[in-house]
């Protein structure tokens, strides 16, 4: 197990950005930047032992500056949408920055994905890793209170990537963090809609024409959103459904079948071609699945990626939670830290 640190480029201000690479003896490696806590590569073996990079990313820092897709980043303070960029805490209204009119998305105009974090290498009995730290100032993007945020990536010898989030607030505020990697388990520039997906959820959250959740929880039974048994991502596009029309594919949050704040199965993703298999466990109550209809860009090795070139599986609290008292709360208060864990478990299946 090892951690290396290398220069990756410079911010316009001249500040140097570093890439931390975690490796284990099984052939797996993960690299992450202190710009946006961005996971740039995840390299894992296929069924024949051939190593492939299974996440989208860029070769240069400028690629991340110019991309609107949050590729590989940690997003916050609040992942997903907040209705009209506003909420109340104790009868006081807070107005947030608007970056996806008429709503705020993924923390606003300059969210956590665009911040430079402080990185520190970590090695312990579990594996090798890196911990990133950032202090979000009171009023940043409209959110109240100062927030000290820590994100840890830890790679184990069993090809498991553990992601730990912890944050401390000095005033009541809303926090909802997620890791926004786009997965393509083929390790090549092909569509990911042929991947088989399982989502451990009996309900999903429908959206309106602005992609904002309505507040309803709809059973997946007899809908295109029923992924309780494995089926290809693209199969959900084959039947006419107003929800699919609104989002040009999947861009919805599932209510996970697990106890609140306890680790439990969220989803599995499988690629028949390579045999690569990803199992996701989380302490979060929801999973946002975004099939990537708007993706575009020139990725690693100067190879272009297109719509549906990767799928984002974002473990998180529900969208617009501050405005829905019946959703599990995202309110963080002084003395009680925000804590969340997500686990990416990689393997290669001989047959499925």
Q: Measure the CA dihedral 113/116/122/128, to 10°.
A: 40
**Quick one: how far is CA 230 from the chain centroid?**
21
Confidence of residue 240 (pLDDT cuts 50, 70, 90): confident
Bridge partner list, 315: 287
Check residue 22 and report its DSSP letter: E
Give the β-pairing of 251-256 and 201-205.
antiparallel
**How many C-beta neighbours within 10 Å does residue 234 have?**
17
pLDDT of residue 165: 98
Q: What CATH number is given for 2-348 in this structure?
A: 2.70.98.10
pLDDT of residue 125: 83
105-152 per-position pLDDT tens digit: 999 999 999 999 999 999 888 889 999 999 999 999 999 999 999 999
123 catalytically annotated? no
Return the beta strands (E) in 181-248 as ranges: 182-183, 196-199, 201-205, 218-219, 231-232
**How many C-beta neighbours within 10 Å does residue 198 have?**
18
Q: Which of 83, 180, 277, 281 is catalytic?
A: 180
Residue 352: pLDDT over 70: no
d(C-alpha 149, C-alpha 152), whole Å: 10
pLDDT of residue 267: 98
pLDDT of residue 53: 98
pLDDT of residue 237: 84
180 catalytically annotated? yes
Burial class (CB in 10 A: 0-12, 13-18, 19+), 235: middle
pLDDT of residue 30: 98
d(C-alpha 38, C-alpha 270), whole Å: 23
Q: Kindly report the average pLDDT of the chain as a whole number.
A: 96
Six-digit token string for 214: 């309505």
What b/e readout covers 16-39, taking b as 16+ CB neighbours within 10 angstroms?
ebbbbbbbbeeebbbbbbbbbbbb
Domain definitions of the chain by residue range: 2-348
In this structure, are residues 253 and 319 in contact, taking their beta carbons and an 8 Å threshold?
yes
298-324 per-position pLDDT tens digit: 999 999 999 999 999 999 999 999 999
Residue 239: pLDDT over 70: yes
Bridge partner list, 340: 165
């Amino acid at each position: 197990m090892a951690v290396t640190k290398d220069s990756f480029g410079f911010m316009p201000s001249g500040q140097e950005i570093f890439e931390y690479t975690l490796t284990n003896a099984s052939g797996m490696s993960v690299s992450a930047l202190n710009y946006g806590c961005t996971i740039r590569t995840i390299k894992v073996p296929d069924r024949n032992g051939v190593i492939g990079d299974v996440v989208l990313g860029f070769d240069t820092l400028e690629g991340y500056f110019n991309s609107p897709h949050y590729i590989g980043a940690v997003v916050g303070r609040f992942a997903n949408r907040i209705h009209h960029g506003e909420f109340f805490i104790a009868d006081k209204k807070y107005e947030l920055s608007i970056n996806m009119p008429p709503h705020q998305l993924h923390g606003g105009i300059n969210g956590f994905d665009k911040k430079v974090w402080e990185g520190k290498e970590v090695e312990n009995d579990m594996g090798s890793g890196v911990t990133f730290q950032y202090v979000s100032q009171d009023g940043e993007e409209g959110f109240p209170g100062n927030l000290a945020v820590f994100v840890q990536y830890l790679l184990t010898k069993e090809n498991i990537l553990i992601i730990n989030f912890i944050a401390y607030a000095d005033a009541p505020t809303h926090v909802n963090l997620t890791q926004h990697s786009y997965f393509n388990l083929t390790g090549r520039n092909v569509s990911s809609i042929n991947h088989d997906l399982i989502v451990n959820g009996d309900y999903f959250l429908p959206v309106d024409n602005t992609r904002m959740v309505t507040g309803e929880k709809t059973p997946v039974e007899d809908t295109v959103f029923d992924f309780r048994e494995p089926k290809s991502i693209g199969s959900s596009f084959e039947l006419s459904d107003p929800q699919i029309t609104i989002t040009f594919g999947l861009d919805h949050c599932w209510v996970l079948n697990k106890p609140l704040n306890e680790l439990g199965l969220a989803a599995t993703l499988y690629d028949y071609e390579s045999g690569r298999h990803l199992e996701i466990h989380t302490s979060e109550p929801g999973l946002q699945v975004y099939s990537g209809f708007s993706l575009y860009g020139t990725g690693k090795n100067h190879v272009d990626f297109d719509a549906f070139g990767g799928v984002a599986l974002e473990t998180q609290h529900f969208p617009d939670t501050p405005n829905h008292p019946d959703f599990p709360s995202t309110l963080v208060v002084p003395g009680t830290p925000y804590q969340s864990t997500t686990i990416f478990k990689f393997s290669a299946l001989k047959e499925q």
